[in-house]
Amino acid sequence: RFAMIGLLQRVSEAQVTVDGQVIGSIADGLLVFLAVEAGDTSTQADRLIERLVGYRVFPDPAGRMNLSLLDTRGGLLLVPQFTLAAGTDKGMRPSFGSAAPPEHGRALFDRAATRARLQLGNRVATGQFGAHMQVRLTNDGPVTFWLRVPPVERKL
């Protein structure tokens, strides 16, 4: 059973570098490592972004996690990371049979980034699909969540 995966971390800063150049950075906000599995769809990408921008992981005045990126006007750094789709149930080496083929993964990652920009504008930065990246972050809390968006069940 496939599900689009987002590993999100609340950060006070994060940046991604490729070939020694910073290609994306944010201050306060969310760093999200995003994995696309073989059966994932555009509907799942849209739903993942909807959840990410509305996910309440930032403290309100009482200190409770009650505010979202929409409330705080924080940044979103999306980083493609197919290794999150790895199978690790057996053996001593991960398998990547459930990861989407690169062209499918890139298309859904790009769709997710576009959808995020529609809601957050220039507060969205991204890593580079298929590149070797260095990611630097300061996790605030630490606060880290694993989000999975399963396919939509069709009722007959």
Catalytic residues: 81-83
Cα–Cα distance measured from residue 154 to residue 137, given in angstroms and rounded to the nearest whole number: 39
Contacts of 54 (CB under 8 A, 6+ apart): 68, 69, 70
Cα–Cα distance measured from residue 25 to residue 77, given in angstroms and rounded to the nearest whole number: 7
Helical H segments across the chain, by residue range: 42-54, 69-72, 102-120
Contact (CB, 8 A) for 123 and 78: no
Cα–Cα distance measured from residue 48 to residue 90, given in angstroms and rounded to the nearest whole number: 28
